[in-house]
Amino acid sequence: MKIVLKITAVLAAAIGIMAIVTGSRVLFGFFDPGYPYFTSLIIYNIIMGSVSVFAGIYIWRQHSRALLYACIIGGLHILVLLSLLTIFNDVISNHSIGSMTFRSAAWIIFSLVVWKGYSRIEKANSVQQKNDL
Whole-prediction pTM: 0.88
- State the Cα–Cα distance between residues 26 and 130, nearest whole angstrom: 55
- State the Cα–Cα distance between residues 100 and 50, nearest whole angstrom: 16
- Which of 80, 71, 67, 6 has its CA nearest to residue 38? 80
H-helix segments, 28-93: 39-60, 66-86
- Angle, to 10 degrees, between the axis of helix 2-27 and the axis of helix 39-60? 160
In tens, the pLDDT along 90-131 reads: 889 999 999 999 999 999 999 999 999 988 776 666 666 666
In tens, the pLDDT along 30-54 reads: 999 888 889 999 999 999 999 999 9
* φ/ψ of residue 2, rounded to 5: -65, -35
Q: Note the pLDDT of residue 35.
A: 84
Confidence category of residue 12, pLDDT binned at 50, 70, 90: very high
pLDDT(133) > 80? no
